Amino acid sequence: MCELNAYLSAGEKEDLYLESVDIIRPENGGVYMRSLFGEERFFQGRIKEIQAIKRKILLEPICPPDL
């Protein structure tokens, strides 16, 4: 099985956000994800990178621009 794990990425740090992700859909300024087990999450941010071989989705929040 090739499900992916989603992590919140900040600098060098990666915190697990959702395991066993099957569906990933960027929408409405965020990222909808659904796991193998039917768990659904909506992340307010964007996909930074997906590393398929490492089975990682790296997510980052959308920061307001510096004013």
Q: Which spans of this chain sit near a second copy (rule: CB under 8 A)? A: 1-4, 21-26, 36, 46-53, 55
Task: Encode 8-41 in three state secondary structure.
Answer: EEECCEEEEEEEEEEEEEEECCEEEEEECCCCEE
To a second copy, the closest distance from the beta carbon of 45 in angstroms equals: 12
Smallest gap from Cβ 15 to a second copy, in A, equals 20
Measured CA to CA, the distance from residue 59 to residue 66 in angstroms comes to 20
**C-beta closer to a second copy: residue 3 or 15:** 3
Measured from the CB atom, is 8 or 24 closer to a second copy?
24
